[in-house]
Structure 1
Amino acid sequence: MGATIRRITILGCYNAMATTLFGPMDIFNQAGRLWNRLGKLPQTPFFDVVIASVDGKPIRCLNNVLVQPHCSIDAVDSTDLIIIASTTYIDKILETGPGLVPWIRRQYARGAHVASVCTGVFLLAETGLLDGRSATLHWGFADMFRKRYPRVNVNVDRMFIDQGRLYCAAGANAGMDLSLYLVEKFCGRQTAIQCAKTMILDMGRERQTPYGAFLLTRSHGDPVVTSVQEWMEAHHTETIDYDRLAKKHRISRRSLERRFKQATGLTPLGYLQQLRVDSAKRLLEDGRYTVAEIVDLVGYADISFFRKIFVKLTGLQPRAYQQRFGGYADAGSGNA
C-alpha cells in the first residue's frame, strides 16, 4: 500500500515574492521523487501541491512576473496544509480578496495546517488565529507587524515557529527551512534529509538573528530623542557620559532614559550597543581587520565583553560571523 499523499495549497496574493511560491512547492513536490530517481528507485510522492489565488487569475509577483495558479481558493474544498506566500500590501489584498480570511479560517476549522512565509504572516494574523500565540517574520517588517497585531507575540530571533497546526517562517529562504521541517513532521526525518541532500539545502537553521540589521528608528516624533540618536550615531565609538548627554539636551538623565526607551524601544545603553555591534559587523564583513582590532575600533576595551555583547545581538561569535558573511574572494579559486 502506498504512502498517504497529502494535499498542499500554496496561496499566492498580489505582489508575492515568487520564491515563496516556488521554493516550498519544489521541496514538497520533490519529496519521495528526486532522491528515488537518482537512486534508480520507484518514485513515491508524498504531496500533491497546487498554487491557488483568490479568484484563479494570475498572481502578479514582486518581480512583475505573472504566475498562473492551478485554481481559485473556491475550487479547494479541503486541504491538509495551506502555505501563505509573502503578502506585501495587506490592505489591498484584503480589499480585493474579502473571502481570503474566512476561507483560511474555514480550512483551519476543518483540520488543515496553516503556514506563512515572510510577510504572509500579516494575512495569517488577520484571521485572529495567532492571537496570544508566537509568530516570526522577516526582521525588517517586525515593528510594522507589532503595531498592527499587538495580540501576537513576535519573536524575530526564530527562523521559523511551530504552534501546533500554525507555522511562520521568517523570510523567503526561511520558507525553505520551514518546508523541510514540515516534510520531516509529515514524512519522517529520513525523507527530510533526502530532500535536503538532493536540493543542496542546510537543515537545522533555527535563528535569523545573524541576518538582521539595526534599523534606526526616526518616526517616533520626539525631536529630543532624534537629536540624541544623531549625536550617539556620530560618537558611538567614544566613551559616552549619559549625564552630560542629558544636560546637553536640557533634560534630566532619568527623563532622557524614559523618553528614549518610549521612542525607540531601547535604553540609550542598548542603543549604543546596537550601534557598536552594527559597526563591528560591517568591519567583519570587510575582512581586513582582526577581531582584536575591531574591538578597539568600535569603542570597546575588553574583548571578552565585546564577544558577549556580539553573541547576544547576533547569535554568533565574531569569527563565525566573519566566516559566514566575509565575502566570496576564494569561492572560485578551487583551492581547498
Structure 2
Amino acid sequence: MKRVSIFTPETAVPSAVSGPRYVFTTANQFLRASGKPPLFDVKLVGCKKEVKLQEGVFTVSVDQTIDQVTSTDLVIIPALFGDMKKAVALNKDAIPWIVEQHTNGAEIASLCVGAFLLAASGLLDGKKCSTHWAYYNEFQDAFPQVEVAEGRVITEDAGIYSSGGANSLWNLLLYLLEKYTDRDTAILASKYFAIDIDRSSQSAFTIFKGQKEHNDNDVLRIQEYLEKNYKDKITIDELADLGAMSRRSFERRFKKATKNTAIEYLQRVKIEAAKRDFESTRKNVNDVMYDVGYTDNKAFRTVFKRFTGLTPIAYRNKYSKM
C-alpha cells in the first residue's frame, strides 16, 4: 500500500484538501473494479484533530495528528487561504514533521500556494517550484533561494512536486496517480473528473497587472508611462531620460523593482492589451498586432506565445466572447 498523508493546514482551501482524498480513494475503486487490490491508504493529517479551514468557515476532523505519523510515502500540502505569511505562521509546527518525512524517504507535493509552506521548510532551497501565477512576486520575495518555474503547471525536482494555480492541482494529482499506478488508470481518472491530463502550462490564464509592489517611485512612474504609451515606439534611452538616470542605472533599478527588464515589461503590457482585444472584439490577428504597436507578424506571434503558451489564433478561439 502507498501511504498518502494529506496534511490539513489551518486556513487551507477546502477543495485542495478534499480533492486529493477524492482522487486517490476513487483510484482505489477503479483498481477494485478491474480486479486489482486497492493501492492507496489515504489519511488526513493535522497538527490537531479539529482543523479550521478557510479562516474558520469550515472545520474538518483529521484521521491522524502529525505525532501519530512516523512514516509515510507521500505528503500532500494543500493550498493555503488568505494572507500567506500569516497562514505559514499558523502551520509552523508542521514544518519539522514535513522535513522529517522527507528525510525518511517520503515524497512531498504542494498544491498551488501550498508552496509557501513547503518553501518555509527549506526543502525547496536551490530547487524549482510551481505556484499560482498571481503569487510569483510575493513568493520570490519571501523565498529568493527558490526558483519559480513561471507558467509551469507541474514541477518535479528530486522527489518534490509542486503545481500551479487553483485547478492545476488536479493535473499534479493525475501525474502522481499515473506514477504510482499506470497510464490507463490516470486516463480513466482524467475522464471521470473531466480534467485535461496533459495540460502543462498556466500561462494562458495569467493576467499581467504590472509588478508595482515596490518603493521605487521613479520606476513606478516609468511603468505608468509604458502602460499609457505602449502603442508607441519607445527606447530604453528615452525611459532612462524620463527617470533622470543613466541607462545602466535605469536598467538595474527597473529589473530589481519589477523582476522584468523594461523590454520584457513593455512586451507583457502589449500582450495583455492584445489578449483583451482577442477576448472582446472580432479583430483579426493583424489588426490586433498593429493596435498594440507591433509591425512584425512573426515577432508578435513569438512574443504572444511565449507569454500565453498559445498562438494568437488559438487564444482568440479559446477565449473570445464574440
The two structures have a TM-score, normalised by structure 1, of 0.88
Q: 5 Å matches for 1:137-286?
A: 137-286=131-280
In structure 2, what is the equivalent of residue 72 of structure 1?
65
In structure 2, what is the equivalent of residue 19 of structure 1?
15
Corresponding letter in the other structure for 2:44? I
Contact 1:35 1:194 (8 Å CA) reproduced: no
Choose 251-260 or 219-228, whichever is displaced more: 251-260
Q: Note the alpha carbon deviations across 1:103-154, whole angstroms, 9 max, x for none.
A: 1111112221111001111111122111111111111111111122222122
Contact 1:261 1:268 (8 Å CA) reproduced: yes
Choose 153-162 or 177-186, whichever is displaced more: 153-162
Distance of aligned partners of 1:244 and 1:142 in 2 relative to their CA distance in 1, 3 Å threshold: closer
User: What is the DSSP-based 3-state SS (H/G/I as helix, E as strand, rest coil) of the residue aligned with 1:31?
Assistant: helix
CA distance in 2, matches of 1:241, 1:126: 40
Unaligned runs of 5+ in 1: 330-336
Q: Note the alpha carbon deviations across 1:265-310, whole angstroms, 9 max, x for none.
A: 2222221111000101111121422111111111111222110111
In structure 1, what is the equivalent of residue 104 of structure 2?
110
Corresponding letter in the other structure for 2:128? S
Distance of aligned partners of 1:164 and 1:21 in 2 relative to their CA distance in 1, 3 Å threshold: same
User: What is the DSSP-based 3-state SS (H/G/I as helix, E as strand, rest coil) of the residue aligned with 1:99?
Assistant: helix
Distance of aligned partners of 1:193 and 1:63 in 2 relative to their CA distance in 1, 3 Å threshold: farther
CA distance in 2, matches of 1:58, 1:169: 23
Paired residue for 1:60, among 50, 53, 58? 53
CA distance in 2, matches of 1:233, 1:131: 35
Distance of aligned partners of 1:323 and 1:24 in 2 relative to their CA distance in 1, 3 Å threshold: farther
Distance of aligned partners of 1:62 and 1:277 in 2 relative to their CA distance in 1, 3 Å threshold: farther
CA distance in 1, matches of 2:275, 2:56: 29
1:100 deviation in Å? 0.5
RMSD of aligned residue pairs (Cα, Å) = 2.2
Q: How many residues align?
A: 321
CA distance in 1, matches of 2:237, 2:158: 49
1:194 deviation in Å? 1.5
Q: 5 Å matches for 1:30-49?
A: 30-34=26-30, 42=35, 44-49=37-42
Unaligned runs of 5+ in 2: none
CA distance in 2, matches of 1:98, 1:263: 30
Contact 1:15 1:61 (8 Å CA) reproduced: yes
Contact 1:17 1:63 (8 Å CA) reproduced: no
Distance of aligned partners of 1:320 and 1:10 in 2 relative to their CA distance in 1, 3 Å threshold: same
1:44 deviation in Å? 4.1
The two structures have a TM-score, normalised by structure 2, of 0.91
User: What is the DSSP-based 3-state SS (H/G/I as helix, E as strand, rest coil) of the residue aligned with 1:50?
Assistant: strand
Contact 1:11 1:83 (8 Å CA) reproduced: yes
Corresponding letter in the other structure for 2:27? A
Paired residue for 2:4, among 3, 8, 21? 8
Choose 50-59 or 60-69, whichever is displaced more: 60-69
Identity of aligned residues (%): 35
Contact 2:73 2:105 (8 Å CA) reproduced: yes
User: What is the DSSP-based 3-state SS (H/G/I as helix, E as strand, rest coil) of the residue aligned with 2:214?
Assistant: coil
1:35 deviation in Å? 7.6
CA distance in 2, matches of 1:96, 1:258: 37
Q: Note the alpha carbon deviations across 1:18-54, whole angstroms, 9 max, x for none.
A: 12111222111111414865xxx55743212122221
1:257 deviation in Å? 2.6
CA distance in 2, matches of 1:245, 1:164: 43
1:261 deviation in Å? 2.1
Contact 2:2 2:39 (8 Å CA) reproduced: yes
CA distance in 2, matches of 1:201, 1:250: 51
Choose 174-183 or 85-94, whichever is displaced more: 85-94
1:217 deviation in Å? 1.9
CA distance in 1, matches of 2:304, 2:165: 23
